[in-house]
Structure 1
Amino acid sequence: MSKDMTIRNAEGTWVVRAGGAVLGETRKALELNEEGLASVVYFPRDDIAMAFLDKTEKVTHCPKKGDASHYSIVTKSTTLKDAAWSYEAPLDAAERIKGYLAFYPSDTLAVERL
């Protein structure tokens, strides 16, 4: 892991909600911190209702973490396009987040510590 990127166990219980529905809750979240950026909480896939996520064609690249696949979230009332991402084959420095998902908070999507 580089000096300007750290990954640690996120303390407590974390929940992600979209359109008012709980998509996941975990005590096994990871918190990734990169210098100059807001912290990001990653949820294990096993703790997310993956039936509500559809993989999209969007892929972004981070020189520290690798290529990120994106997912849209389907709620009762709308589809949140590219609202989640995952590093499915992360670079060595980010290996701990393999199998985890992160979410873009918005007016209709919340990531919260309980």
Structure 2
Amino acid sequence: MSPQGHEIEIKEGSARVRVVRDGQVVADSRRPLMLFETGLPVRYYLPPEDVRTDLLVPSETHTYCPFKGTASYYSHPDGTADLVWYYPDPKPEVAAIKDHLCFYEAEVTETTEATGTA
């Protein structure tokens, strides 16, 4: 068990995760990492090869999670909103998510049932 009863579990998923923004497919993956974290919905972390980062721009935003480390962000090309985050140097306990991209759930338009529970 992690500090204060906080737990994180990462599993390889089989869900198809697609992200569509402004009519364009920004991501399409059948190999997400599913991150289960105490008190949060499951998050799908996608391999960078399955994301069209050419449709995103690096953001100046950085946030810190005491369990995962410092996150960096990509935003919409017009700079109006951060759309996705990733951990370029995650804590050792979650090293599997290094450089995988996680879109805000409002941006995930299609998933199929995946196996695994927290």
- What are the Cα deviations for residues 31-76 of structure 1, in whole angstroms up to 9, with x where unaligned? 10101111110111111111011111110000110000011023xx
How far residue 99 of structure 1 moved from its aligned partner, in angstroms, is 1.9
Describe how 1:97-108 pairs up with structure 2 within 5 A: 97-106=97-106
Residue in 1 aligned with 2:38?
35
- Superposition RMSD in Å: 1.9
**In structure 2, distance between residues paired with 1:28 and 1:48:** 12
Distance 1:20 1:79, change over 3 A: farther
- TM-score between the two structures when normalised by the length of structure 2: 0.82
Higher helix content, 1 or 2? 2
Higher strand content, 1 or 2? 1
Q: Do residues 4 (structure 1) and 7 (structure 2) align?
A: yes
| Contact 1:18–1:110 (8 Å) recurs in 2 | no
Describe how 1:51-70 pairs up with structure 2 within 5 A: 51-70=54-73
How far residue 102 of structure 1 moved from its aligned partner, in angstroms, is 0.4
Residue in 1 aligned with 2:110?
112
Describe how 1:63-102 pairs up with structure 2 within 5 A: 63-74=66-77, 80-102=80-102
Aligned length: 109
Residue in 1 aligned with 2:116?
none
- Of 1, 14, 18, the residue aligned with 1:15 is 18
Distance 1:28 1:80, change over 3 A: farther
5+ unaligned residues in a row in structure 1: which ranges?
Answer: none
| Contact 1:45–1:101 (8 Å) recurs in 2 | yes
Q: Which 4+ residue blocks in structure 1 deviate beyond 6 angstroms?
A: none
How far residue 111 of structure 1 moved from its aligned partner, in angstroms, is 4.1
- TM-score between the two structures when normalised by the length of structure 1: 0.85
| 58-67 or 7-16: bigger deviation | 7-16
